[in-house]
Amino acid sequence: MSVQLLKPTGLRLMTSRTDTAVNGKGWMPWYGYFAGGVLYTVLAVVLFADSTWPVLAWICTISAPVGFYYAWGAWKRGKRNRDDA
């Protein structure tokens, strides 16, 4: 590595991923994921009852548990952050 790469770059700021703030403002609360899971579940039931779009109904059926899984993970992360504070 040459010395030129270590010099300041003028007005351009060089930051790395470790320089970014580590706060919990970038994540969605668990109830947002839970609401998405409920929405996909209801949509899957309606689409299966209508049975005109079975492929979309299966996609919603598969996506609903994923939303509940993410809700569970976000709930655990929020609980861990509350316990650490």
Domain count, the chain: 1
Q: What are the tens digits of pLDDT across the range 30-81?
A: 899 999 999 999 999 999 998 888 999 999 999 999 999 999 999 998 888 8
8 domain-assigned? no
49 domain-assigned? yes
Give pLDDT, residue 36: 92
50 domain-assigned? yes
Q: Is the pLDDT of residue 8 over 90?
A: no
2 domain-assigned? no
20 domain-assigned? no
Range of the domain at 37: 29-77
Residues 6 or more apart in contact with residue 48 via CB below 8 angstroms:
54, 57, 61
54 domain-assigned? yes
pTM for the model? 0.62
Cβ contact 53:47 at 8 Å = yes
